Amino acid sequence: MTQRLAGKVAVITGATSGIGLATARLFAEHGATLFLNDLDRDNLTQVAAQLGARAIPGDISRMADLDALYDVVGTEAGGIDIVMANAGIAEFARVEDVTEELFDRIFSVNAKGTYFTVQKALPLLRSGAAVILTGSIAAVSGVPGMGVYTATKAAIHNYARGWTAELAPRGIRVNVVAPGIVDTPGLRVPGQTDNYDAMLDQMVSAVPLGRIGVPEDVAKVALFLASGDSGYLSGSVIFADGGMAQV
């Protein structure tokens, strides 16, 4: 197998489960030197040990934690070729039930955390680096109970457009992978676990390709965006959604 990321230094946030974990595994297979970040310290330590990666636990909504992350990367690697700003949270409430605390919590992690994950990486990003943001089909659709979450993902999609214009002189590319329905731990909403199979069957009916995604489906898109194969792509959103948002 050709290692498409050999010699590259990659930072992945939200790396202990779902899309982040699948991407970390795939990047490791393709030769990347990995620096992994997540709130879940114990799982992060285990994942990093399995992949031969460096674990730096932390909360992306806390500036001190991001500074600590990049201090380690800068000291140990000297520069970064790939940043995948993947960490995020999803909490659902109808518009009349959203509290200020819920609103602030989701925006603090998804919108603010993603923004500063990239901003604070800038001094270390090498010319030609790839920035990958994890968006969502929710950014372009209306879903009851997801108004705050969808707004944060729409912000992330627009970060890619603005940053593409700003960072192009350095040769830095910024793109979004926007998953559809993906079978991750985050999909198992508390209170619905007992009806999970029935819920999945209902979801599948909305996907043109006839199945929900798995984390590896999204990881393969991230690998494409991280590699030279996407060298003429920037400011783009690639929907890994089985066609759900396209028809």
**In the prediction, which pLDDT does 199 show?**
67
pLDDT per position as a tens digit, 151-169: 999 999 999 999 999 999 9
What are the backbone angles phi and psi of residue 25, rounded to the nearest 5°?
A: -65, -45
Domains of the chain: 9-236 (3.40.50.720)
Please give the share of the chain, as a percent, with pLDDT higher than 90. Answer: 84
115 tagged catalytic: no
- Residue 157 three-state SS: helix
pLDDT per position as a tens digit, 65-105: 999 999 999 999 999 999 999 999 999 899 999 999 999 99
Other CB atoms within 10 A of residue 93 CB: 16
What are the backbone angles phi and psi of residue 99, rounded to the nearest 5°?
A: -100, 165
d(CA 175, CA 200): 29
**In the prediction, which pLDDT does 196 show?**
63
Which residue, 30, 12, 9, is CA-closest to 220? 30
Active-site hit among 149, 159, 196, 232: 149
d(CA 234, CA 173): 5
pTM of structure: 0.94
Cβ(180)–Cβ(207) below 8 Å: yes
